[in-house]
Amino acid sequence: MSRPNEHDLALLPNGDVLAVVRMDGGDGLATHPYRNYYRTVSSDQGKTWSTLEEIPNVGCARPRLAMLGGGKGPLLLSGGRQKNNGTQVN
């Protein structure tokens, strides 16, 4: 079963908290492949969270979020090993 093991959080302008998580920590082998990031949102300061939603073709290791423009600008997501850029073994 895949479980979150690396994550980052961002406080959104509307007060929601966004979490982007790495799932499973795969090593890229056919038996343990890389998995896309997932996102979830909390509207009650982290007490409850929405259902995880996959973010395809973005990355699969060490997600990092940054709210630019003093919290009013665009939200930047970065990380490592884009799943579908030739790093997937299988």
Neighbour-count burial for 47-85, b at 16+ CB within 10 Å, e otherwise = eeeeeeeebeebbbbebebebeeeeeeeeebebeebbee
Chain segment 24-60, per-residue pLDDT in tens:
765 656 566 677 889 999 999 999 999 999 988 777 7
What's the pLDDT at 90? Answer: 46
| 27 and 54 Cβ atoms separated by less than 8 Å | no
More confident call, 42 vs 86: 42
Please give the pLDDT value at position 58: 79
Q: Which of 82, 65, 83 is nearest to 74 (CA)?
A: 65
Q: Is the model more confident about 64 or about 79?
A: 64
pTM: 0.79
Residue 67 to residue 72: CA distance in whole angstroms: 7
